[in-house]
Structure formats: structure tokens, C-alpha cells
Amino acid sequence: PKLDPFTTLLDLKLGTFDPERGPVQVRTQEDLRGFFQADPPRPDELVYRVMPVPVPTENSEIQCSTTVLEPGTVGDEYYMTKGHFHAVRDRSEIYIGLAGEGCLVLATEDGRHRVEPIREGMVNYVPGGWAHRSVNVGDEPLVFFAAYVGDAGHDYATIERDGFPVLVCRGDDGPVVTDNPHYRP
Ligand code: PA5
Ligand code: NI
């Protein structure tokens, strides 16, 4: 065997691991410039953190992490992750909702899209070939656990260039999903 077994304790409300297994990845409004339609009004403000349980990036392993996505907006758009295709396109992923209220926006390279709910206890299956982005549509942090095939990798550049087919925006009566006017300009 290549690895020894290990155990870490996941706080199901906060999404933190004790002990931490790897460096926490922090994303601010500035890091998401070009992903939101509007320029970031408060560039230093925290949007999300990813807490990893890193293992070798091989398809014999299973990567997992938690994401804590803060509540907030840039322009009309709710705080969201950058979103990505897996670099190895057919690699799949599972999300488990732990806290908060969110949407999982998914899209294929041929332009199909889906919007699924993320809530405590929900399991979302992300099949290979579907880009995925989570969006916090509530007033509390959105927390979820993700597990995926070890060699999947992340392709952010395609999303940065093309966007997703739809945007999730704050409306008068809650979240509204609208067509993205800048999708694949
Ligand atoms: O593996 C995943 O899809 C998640 O753990 C995401 O990486 C995490 O939610 C952060 O989103 P992104 O990688 O799009 O910045
Ligand atoms: Ni992923």
C-alpha cells in the first residue's frame, strides 16, 4: 500500500477538520474578478474557504474537502465559487450538504445546464463532463463536503472565458436564475 490509514474529525456545522490535513485555500472577491459580472466592490472581502484532505493526485485515490461559502453578493449575483470542469473531463464528484442554503449550477460543454439544491443532508452527484459551481442563496454560510476521483484536477480557464449558461441573482422574492448574457461571447 502507498498510504497509511488516517482519521480526522469533521465539524458538521463549521466544515472544519481537526486536525487540519492541508493548507486552507482562501478566495476573496478579488480572486473572483472576471467570474462575477460586476467588478468586486470590496476586493479584500472573504468569499469562500476550502479545507482539503489532500492525497496523491492519482485516480486510485479519493480527494475530499469541505467548502465554506459566505453569504453576500457582488452586484446582483450571490456569492459563488469560481466553478470548474475537471481537467480530466470524465471524472465525477459527490457533494454532501452540511449547513446553509445553496444552489449547485452544472453545465456541459455542449451548453446544457441544471440547477440543483444544496441543503443539510442532501447528496448531489456530479457526473463526469459537468462543470459545477456552488452558490450561497441564504443568509448563513453554505457548508458542504466534496469527494472526487484523485486525478480529476481543475479546469478554471474554460469557465473564466465562457462563464456558465445561467446566473443566480438576488431578486425581490428570493433567488432568480437568469440566462447569462455573456455566456460564450
Ligand atoms: O471539488 C470541488 O468541486 C469543490 O471542492 C470545489 O473545488 C470548491 O467548492 C471550490 O470551488 P472552485 O474549485 O470552483 O473554486
Ligand atoms: Ni469539482
- Tell me which CATH homologous superfamily contains domain 9-179: Jelly Rolls (2.60.120.10)
- Are the beta carbons of 170 and 101 closer than 8 angstroms? no
Among 29, 33, 67, the mutation site with the greatest number of ligand 1 atoms within 8 A of its Cβ is 67
- For residue 10, pLDDT over 90 is answered with yes
Enumerate residues with CB within 5 Å of ligand 2 (an ion).
Answer: 93
Q: Per residue in 87-125, pLDDT tens?
A: 999 999 999 999 999 999 999 999 999 999 999 999 999
Query: What residues pair up with 132 in beta bridges, in sequence order?
Result: 84, 106
Q: Per residue in 30-85, pLDDT tens?
A: 999 999 999 999 999 999 999 999 999 999 999 999 999 999 999 999 999 999 99
Q: Which atom of ligand 1 is nearest to the CA of 159?
A: 14
Least Cα distance to 25 among 75, 63, 72 occurs for: 63
178 CA to middle of ligand 2, Å?
23
pLDDT of residue 121: 98
Spatial separation of the C-alpha atoms in residues 185 and 37, rounded to whole Å: 13
- For residue 176, pLDDT over 80 is answered with yes
DSSP one-letter string for 33-78: TTTSSSPPSSTTSEEEEEEEE---SSTTSEEEEEEEE-S-EETTEE
Q: Which atom of ligand 1 is nearest to the CA of 146?
A: 5
For the chain, domain boundaries: 9-179
Q: Which atom of ligand 1 is nearest to the CA of 152?
A: 1
Spatial separation of the C-alpha atoms in residues 22 and 42, rounded to whole Å: 28
Question: What is the CB < 6 Å shell around ligand 1?
Answer: 50, 65, 67, 81-84, 93, 132, 134, 146, 148, 154
The average pLDDT across 134-158 equals 98
pLDDT of residue 77: 98
- For residue 185, pLDDT over 90 is answered with no
Spatial separation of the C-alpha atoms in residues 84 and 119, rounded to whole Å: 21
Least Cα distance to 25 among 7, 44, 47 occurs for: 47
- For residue 148, pLDDT over 80 is answered with yes
Buried b (16+ CB within 10 A) or exposed e, 36-63: beeebeeeeebbbbbbbbebeeeeeeeb
Among 57, 84, 92, 151, the mutation site with the greatest number of ligand 1 atoms within 8 A of its Cβ is 84
Give ipTM to 2 decimals: 0.99
